[in-house]
Every structure is written in structure tokens, then in C-alpha cells.
Amino acid sequence: MVWTLERGARLSPDGTVRFSVWAPRVQHLTVQSVHPHWSVAMEREVGGVHTAIVRGLSPGDLYSYCLDGTRIRPDPVSRWQPEGVHGPSAIVDPSAFLWTDHEWKGRAVRELILYELHCGTFTAEGTFSAIIPYLDYLKNDLGVTAVELMPVAAFPGTRNWGYDGVHPFAPQTSYGGPLGLKTLVNACHEKGLAVVLDVVYNHLGPEGNYLNEYGPYFTDRYHTPWGWAISFDGDDSAEVRHYFIDNALHWITEYHIDALRLDAVHGIFDTSPKHILQELGEAVHTQANALGRTILVISESDLNDNRIITRRDEGGWGHDAQWNDDFHHSLHVLLTGERRGYYDDFHSLEHLRTAITDGFVYQGQDSLYRQRPHGTLSRHLPGERFVICSQNHDQVGNRAYGDRLSTLVPFPALKLVAGLVLCAPNIPLLFMGEEYGEPAPFLYFTSHTDPALAQAVRDGRRREFAPFAWVEEIPDPQDLSTFARSKLNHGLREQGQYCALLRFYRDFIAVRKRSPALHNCNKETLEATILPDSALLLIRRWQPGADEVLIVASFASGERSVQVPVPKGHWLKTLDAAANVYGGTAGVLALPTVLDGNVSRQMTFTPYAFALYWRAPDAR
């Protein structure tokens, strides 16, 4: 049986609307409208659910709830907030959109090459519809297979990362609302691109958050960095759990979303016999079966807890994948030398090697940053359960000045990190603009309408970075220019080194797609070796009965000559980051075109060299 949303405003073909809201903290609830004026008292049922049936309404009609005759509030299950988070809700007919993606069945997790973008800054217009003209570029010129949208749930004002959303069921109006999002998803599917949506189930934003007036959605028994924790295991928590599971099913059913990325699940607390994350994952996969589609659940967690991505029949929660920050942190420290905060736990090429071969770097060892043992074993878990990156919205935007890797490391190092992300046996994620080395920052921005809250955000941002003694003033999140500076400059990708870097990403993604050895995500057919005293990492991957690849990656910032053991076989150089076509200047120091093993060969590497050698299955 296919799920349908029972709460909120449910429209029937005859214009009858059934309103249903869980509000145990409200004795008398009225659903009403101002233009035209009408008001209907709702019936309070056992358990605190209030219902009413109103006739003669149409999609787009506005309504609000009046709580105990004193407070006018929007619907907690509003599908659309056309006048902002404080305004009335609008009736939406979820069956009205004419989908053309009937043949689309989704993508398996191992097929994903993710491209994370922020709807407001990816284009000059900052809307869902403005993204559509770029889909051919993403699919054909770059080669990604999935677009990952940062949160789109309605937030205050018109500028926000999306993690301050307060209407989880309502796509942001300034982006284009429900129609705009459905049009974008439909267009992605027509191009063969999956759509991943970032959802936030660990907290809601502070402005426009009226849930607690309706019922006990939040608890002070747990603490999160964002304020109140959501009460998944307190009194009356069954309806709270139902609310967020409904939200997940709403996105995948009414909007045809292919995967949900759950934000910071380490901020979700639950001591119930069945954890909410397991229950939610089960509900999504059950609905996927009913819809006849592949739908994935991907979590973000800094716990290194293998339960999240262990199959349910093996005692885990059964999520399809999770972000692996350890890969990013290991790579970032090697390239930048930064050691503040959590970077203090990562300091060697061995850590990066472990991230590639195992997944988690910390699997129970003592963490200096956390001052305790951290993590669980991960070597046994399939590689496709780990999403890796060299940049993402957090790792760029949570820096004081939002500086991207393109402004922190030399140009050759950008190709090195691209190659490592794309050759590891995991699911690669690119952050918008990284494929051509976008220099614009991705800053933290907001548009709160409450002046006191806006000032609190400014002050909090300054306090957060005070210990780092930054020389420049921290950009004001509320300033329109902070948002404007974060927009991409798409024209750059046709120029000079930007174009060369994009060509490297495009060519490597194409190699990954056509090489069974590179896209198999199999840890058992992988070897990663560090050559002593060389800052050189050798990665060998193969697919039994098919091809084999040898990757050489140098983290030396200067030219270096190294004796390299070449595995048995006849190896052809397929891709070299130092080639002229990729903006390189290797010249006479270009790596050999052919390698013959089993021998040890002296090779000279330019700074941050990266090359891939390929061996055909019949080359022995």
C-alpha cells in the first residue's frame, strides 16, 4: 500500500478539504481564512488530533489555525508558505503536477557521483528553475549522476543555507515553491540525473518555529549546538516520530526525490527500543518498494558509528551510505597543514591510506580532539556505504571567510585531490564550483526578520572565531553582500586554468565510469601503499576478469625522484594531471607513457603529481 499524507490540508477532487493537525497543547482550534473570510471550528479527538472538513476551496487558497482563540499560526504540515514562514499556509494539490518521469526508477548507490549545490547561490537568479539550463552541463560536460540539493524547507526571509528551516513540508517560496521544485526534479530525471535532498531532523530554526505551541515536539533532556533537541523518545513522542517519518515519505512520494541526506544525525537522540533512524530508514525503503523505485537514505554523522550503515539483518539501522569526514580531514591536513579543532586528529599519509582502505580512520583509537576513544570498525563494510569529498558546504562555509580549497592550495594540488576523491572505492561528492576551481567564497548567510535574532547570529559568529585571531572582520551573515559574494561565477570555467581543471574532472569521471576496476567500490580488490620517505601513495585497484589500474599520487610540494615498484604487467598511462591539456608544465619531467613490471623504476614527480595507469585484462 502506497503511503499518503494524512495530516495538514488534504484536498479532494470535489473541492472538499480535510484539515488535520496534532495539537495536544491546544484545547480549541479553528481553521480560518482572511480573504475571503471564513472560519470553521475543528473537532478535538482523543490524543490531541484536531480535524475539520471545509467545502468550496481550491489549490492556492490560504488558511491559518487559531489556537485557543488568541494566536494565529500557520499549519505545522503546510505544503507551501507563499507569504513567508509567519504567514498563512496555502492549499496544494499534490496530484496536479504532470510528471513525465514514469520510466525513471532511480539509481543504485554505487552509481552515484554526487554534485552538492545551494539553490540560492548556484545561479544568479537563485531559483529551482534557473538550475535547469545547467543540467546538460552537469550530466554531459562534467559527468555527475546525481544533484544533491542543500535543504529547501521554508526558512525566514530569502537567504539561508537551509538549516534554519521551520516548515519541513514546504519548499522555499523564494526558490520557486512546490511547482518549482517538482519541475526541477522532473527535468533532472529526464536528463538521467538522480536528485538527493538534504533534510534536517535534528532541529528546526528559531524564527517561525511554532511547533512547540501545538505539541511537545522538543525536549530539554538533550542538548544540540542548534538549541532544543527534537523529542523522539519522550512523552507523546509517537506523533513526533510520525511527523518526521511522514516528512521523509512526503519528499520521496510527492516530489519523486531519489535519496534523502539526513543532516547531522549525531544530533538526533533516541533511547527507544527501535531508534528513529532505523524506523525512518525502514519506512523509506518500504515506500520505495511500493513505488517501484530505488530510493536511498544517506546520513551525515561524526560518530564513526558503523550501526548506521550496517544492514538491519546484521543488527544495524540499514542506511545506504553515510558521509565519511575522516577522508576529508586526512586529505585537508596533508595539503594545508591546518591543525585546529578536529584537524588535530589527522596528521599523516597513513591516515589517508586508512580512509581509502577502511573507511573510518578512527575505529576505537584515542582521539586528541575528543579526549576519548572514538569510532568503530569499518574495514568490513562495502566501500559504497561511504560518501567522500575534498570539499562540501560545511568544510568551506564553516570557515570564517568561507574560503574554498582553490584559494588555499596550489593549482596542481587541486587535481591531486580530484583524482583521489574519484579513484577511491567510495561514492564521490563534488561541491558546486570545485570542478573548475571557483575562487568565490561560500559564506554563512541569513535573512532573519527578527532584529534581535539577527544580532545574536552576528555576535555568535564573532565569538565562534574569536580564538582564531582572524585579522579581517567576520562577514556579517545578514548583509546582502555576504550572500552575493557566495554566488558562482560560471563563466570562469571557460577560461585558462579553470577550464583545464574542469577538463581533468570531466576526463577522470569518464575514466571512472568506463573502468570496472574504478567503479566497483570493492575494498577486497584494492591495495594502497605508502613508499617510505617519499610522500608518495600508490593505489592499485582491479576487477577480476576485467581491467586493473595503478594510481600514483605525490603529496610532495616540490619535485621528487622516487624508486617506484611497478606491479607485474604492461601499464599504459591513461591520465596525467601534469599534462599540458590539464594546465600542467611537466615537460621533460613527464611521467613515462608505458610501465613494464615486475621492476622497480626511478621516476621523477612534479609537485603534487597524480597519474593513472591502466592495464587491460589480457595484459599479463
Which one of 61, 233, 263, 326 is the catalytic residue?
A: 263
Q: Is 263 a catalytic residue?
A: yes
Q: 554531459: which residue's cell?
A: 140
Which runs of consecutive H residues, i.e. helices, occur in 381-539?
393-397, 411-423, 451-465, 480-485, 496-514, 516-519
Taking the C-alpha atoms of residue 564 and residue 561, their distance in angstroms, rounded to an integer, is: 9
| Per-residue pLDDT at 532 | 87
What is the CB-side half-sphere exposure of residue 200 using CA atoms within 13 A?
Answer: 21
Query: Of 316, 295, 294, which Cα lies nearest the Cα of 305?
Result: 316
pLDDT per residue over 306-355, tens digit each? 999 999 999 999 999 999 999 999 999 999 999 988 999 999 999 999 99
Full 3-state SS string of 261-308: EECCHHHCCCCCCCCHHHHHHHHHHHHHHHHCCCCEEEECCCCCCHHH
C-alpha triplet 242, 243, 249: angle, nearest 5°:
85
| Per-residue pLDDT at 619 | 47
| Per-residue pLDDT at 454 | 86
Q: Is 350 a catalytic residue?
A: no
**Residues in the chain, pLDDT under 50:** 619-620
| Per-residue pLDDT at 15 | 85
Is residue 606 within 8 A of residue 612, CB to CB? The reply is: no
| Per-residue pLDDT at 21 | 98
Query: Of 434, 446, 436, 447, which Cα lies nearest the Cα of 403?
Result: 434
Neighbour tally for 18: CB within 10 Å = 15
Q: Which three cell numbers stand for residue 535?
A: 610522500
Query: Of 45, 78, 43, which Cα lies nearest the Cα of 62?
Result: 78
| Per-residue pLDDT at 620 | 42
3-state SS class at 130: helix
| Per-residue pLDDT at 597 | 83
In the chain the domains, ranked by start, together with CATH numbers, are 8-90 (2.60.40.10), 501-615 (2.60.40.1180)
Taking the C-alpha atoms of residue 76 and residue 211, their distance in angstroms, rounded to an integer, is: 6
Reported residue count of the chain is: 620
Taking the C-alpha atoms of residue 528 and residue 327, their distance in angstroms, rounded to an integer, is: 14
Which one of 207, 270, 300, 438 is the catalytic residue?
A: 300
Is residue 133 within 8 A of residue 101, CB to CB? The reply is: no
